[in-house]
Amino acid sequence: EEESQSSFMHLLKTKREARLMEKALAEKDEAFREKMKVIADRWRALRAKRAQLKDHVEKSGRIIQENEEVRILALKIESKEREENMHKESEILRAKMKLEALRKEHWKLCKKVQKYSIFKKYLEDVVKISQFEDILEVTSRYKLLVRTHKDLLQSQQGHKELTEQDKVLLEQDRAEKEAELLQYKSELVQLKLRFDQAQRDILLWETRWADIQNRTSKKTGKLWTIKLAIHDLFQ
């Protein structure tokens, strides 16, 4: 029964795709006709232009022989027209190939519609013997049940993934905290060593400072004695 309902849903979807494909095919066909019309107009204009150019070249034969630049210009124009013709022919070929592919796809969709049409009759019989009013109500109820079942499975899977994720995060947090604790202990040891070294440096610099002050005091006394001697000599 579930397979039949699924097949009918696929049939409805295929019909809808077939209608969309028919619409797209009609639009592509109309666009192709318009494009072919434009190309035909361009072809007529190109032929007229080519005829005018040919007439001009025939009338100006003596001038072309005397002026090489005009001949080169005519060759360039002809080469450009040839390239444009090749480009238009390529566009026409691509459009034809695309149209053929759309026709093949439309034929495949029509075959699918014929293949799954039996399920429509089956669902109509189901509606007759059930409390449902039409086929759309049956398919809507089926979609609701499928969506509910899918949501339930996703919820269970999400709960399981969250639990596992919480465990992983807890282990990661624990490992990070242990690493931080080890780092703090190492930094504490380094700070203690630096503090001890700083204490030793303080003692050393205090000794040096006392020595410097002692020598400064001696030199100050000598300087004062020299100033007095100079003053006496000056007197």
- pLDDT per position as a tens digit, 151-181: 888 888 877 777 787 788 878 888 888 888 8
Q: Is residue 114 part of a domain?
A: no
Q: Is residue 31 part of a domain?
A: yes
Residue 222 — very low, low, confident or very high, per pLDDT cuts 50/70/90?
Answer: confident
Range of the domain at 55: 7-93
Tell me if the pTM is above 0.75.
no
Q: Is residue 53 part of a domain?
A: yes
Q: Is residue 66 part of a domain?
A: yes
Q: Is residue 76 part of a domain?
A: yes
Q: Which helix (H) or strand (E) holds 40?
A: helix 2-59
Of the listed ranges 88-97, 149-158, 159-168, 207-216, the one predicted with least confidence: 159-168
Amino acid at 128: K
Rounded Cα distance, 123 and 10, in Å: 13
Of the listed ranges 62-76, 95-109, 116-130, 220-234, the one predicted with least confidence: 62-76
Query: Structurally, how many domains does the chain consist of?
Result: 1
Which has more pLDDT, 65 or 127?
127
In angstroms, how far apart are the furthest CA atoms of the chain?
A: 144
Q: Is residue 79 part of a domain?
A: yes
pLDDT(79) > 80: yes
Q: In this structure, what are the phi and psi dihedrals at residue 80, rounded to the nearest 5 degrees?
A: -65, -40
Q: Is residue 186 part of a domain?
A: no
Query: Of the spans 38-47, 104-113, 184-193, which averages the highest pLDDT?
Result: 184-193
| Mean pLDDT of all residues in 91-106 | 86
Q: Is residue 205 part of a domain?
A: no
Rounded Cα distance, 17 and 115, in Å: 15
Report whether 222 contacts 216 (CB < 8 A): no
pLDDT tens-place string over residues 22-54: 787 788 778 778 888 887 788 788 888 877 877
CA angle, 30 as apex, 33 and 23 as ends, to 5°?
Answer: 155
The mean of the pLDDT values for the chain is 79
